[in-house]
Amino acid sequence: MKFLNRLNNDGSINPEKVSNNMQCGIDVHDRMVFSDPQIQLLSLGDFVLRCRSIINQSGDDKSDLNFFISSYGGDVHTALGIIDYMRIMKLKVNTIGIGPIMSAAVPILASGTGKRSITRNSVVMIHPVSAMFNGTALDLTNDVAQAKQSQDKIFGILGKYSTQTASFWKKKASTNFYLSPEQCLSFGLVDEIIDDHQKI
């Protein structure tokens, strides 16, 4: 899909072009990328395309990107891929949590390479990796081992990019563990809480 710039030739804002960009999950002018509400297989490709579209349309490959995360979670492998892409980009990616930031969305928020922020009324929740398995007994054994490995990776990431250890997160997330923005700040998952009228 060819993404459209938001400006007319004379430099004025074209509302139709702004709408097209927003429908694609980006705002080129403010360098905003918006997460999918459900992290699924296509979300990784979408994230890469959105980031590249902003860079290519703006002609600026040095200024920060702002990744707005509002998601109930989803596929852990896709989340790990999004984290990998954020970490290998040369420019910084600021992560901004707003609304629900749950499950696989939490390590994405914590892994931002720039400033990591959260809004005052956001809700954060982490829990054990869950999966549905089928196949032979050996397949099930391998699938369970892979799920455990993915879970350990998630807790390791939370331990790396917060002030708490991986074992802390593993213990806390033995069941649904909800955190307030204040707890996220205290535990080092984010760097700031966005207050009223604060410019993002």
Q: Is 66 helix (H, G, I), strand (E, B) or coil?
A: strand
Contact yes or no for 69/94 (Cβ under 8 A): no
Distance from C-alpha of 167 to C-alpha of 148, rounded to nearest angstrom: 14
Q: Which residues pair with 102 in a beta bridge?
A: 125
- pTM for the whole structure: 0.84
**CA distance linking residue 38 with residue 76, whole number of Å:** 11
Over its length of 200 residues, how does the chain's per-residue pLDDT go in tens digits? 333 344 455 443 344 444 455 456 888 989 999 999 999 989 999 999 999 999 999 999 999 999 999 999 999 999 999 999 999 999 999 999 999 999 999 999 999 999 999 999 999 999 988 766 677 777 777 877 877 888 999 999 999 999 999 999 999 999 999 999 999 999 999 999 998 766 66
Alpha-carbon span 131 to 76, nearest angstrom: 10
